[in-house]
Amino acid sequence: MVLEMKVPSPGESITEVEIATWLVKDGDYVEKDQAIAEVDSDKATLELPAEESGIITLKAEEGDTVAVGQVVCLIDTSAAKPEGGAAPAEEPKQEAPKAEEPKKEEAKPAATTYASGTPSPAAKKILDEKGVAPSQVSGTGKDGRITKEDAMSASVAAMGTPTGGNRSSERTKLSMLRRKVAERLVAAKNETAMLTTFNEATMKPINELRAEFKEEFKNKHGVSLGFMSFFTKAVVRALQLYPDVNSMIDGDYKISYDFCDISVAVSGPKGLMVPVMRNAELLTFRGIEAEIKRLALRARDGQITVDEMTGGTFTISNGGVFGSMLSTPIINPPQSGILGMHNIIERPIAVNGQVEIHPMMYIALSYDHRIIDGRESVGFLVAVKEGLEDPINLLMDGNPRKALEL
């Protein structure tokens, strides 16, 4: 019996996928549930498992775009599983003896004379002007004399024209996911009134809390106490104070949410992905760190699903892990705001009239000015700053040990 394997639907509203990689070859024997291909949709990369065991026949090439429901391979379920062991190597074919080719007469080198390597007057003038020594030029004129053309060619090469080395290039097709990300980023720039506001925060209070509790936190909960849990808590608090930032436009209407589904931008093997932490307002520090770790691992391993990347109401992007000092992050549509984190650098700041060295971070909020006014955007970012600089009172209800479940 021959089974026709069709492309399953990866999620709602997805009508086509792209064959990214075949993990098996035509004619291979595959086991049931074995991953036979990786397929790209415009939202995620998913594995395609074999529905039955048998000999596979591929019906699509890598890079082909296929509709959901289209047959991409056949599996002959009646074929017996081949026994192990390498196939006998083919005997090398004996090549017919080649007829001896007539020997070519070797060209005799040009005789060396007083003219060899000597530039003509015109050539000498060019070499002197360009600072090129005659010894660096091969003459093609009579008896090896350096001609005007030789001097001009040598001068151009000396000024930087490549004369050797690797100058190859490669043309590869962007994955469907990468193309969709590019399309969405351009749409966000063209279809929103995007504006970015900046502030800075001292990370000293958070650094002190992490230094005090990180070992105990990790030993008890099995996850590290990172910066993302503090930022997520600060963002949730700010969204509750400024709900317009947690809203989005739908035509002539504004949709507001009483929950905070926080998208977290992570870099995966197939490009930028934004898995979502659902109901972040209900999560503890431990819950946030555990969920971020889970989503990041799934994104890294290519196991993230479409459902895990849709439905966010606000995004946090941490460019600081790559060394970014300052940026203007692009909104993740249809959301109306995105917070950019950056690297932490010790800088002198004024504290109560005295200069102190603090670990400082620039923070940036890009927002859609169609729905968020300046007062809300600036107030939101100030609220985030306040939460980061006074985490014990504003994010932990005055009790770090209770907040960290220690």
The tally of CA atoms less than 13 A away on the side-chain side of residue 260 is 25
Cα–Cα distance, 401 to 320 (Å, whole number): 28
Strands of 239-353, DSSP E: 247-250, 253-256, 262-268, 271-273, 276-277, 314-318, 337-341, 344-351
* Torsion angle, alpha carbons of 65, 67, 71, 72, to 10: 20
The tally of CA atoms less than 13 A away on the side-chain side of residue 251 is 1
Biggest distance spanned by C-alpha atoms of the chain: 96
Residues 6 or more apart whose Cβ sits within 8 Å of residue 26:
56, 57, 58
The catalytic site residues sit at 369, 373
Cα–Cα distance, 352 to 371 (Å, whole number): 37
- Residues of the chain by 3-state class (helix, strand, coil), percent to 5: 30, 25, 45
Residues 6 or more apart whose Cβ sits within 8 Å of residue 7:
17, 39, 48, 66, 67, 68, 69, 70, 72
Query: Tokens 């770090």 belong to which residue?
Result: 400
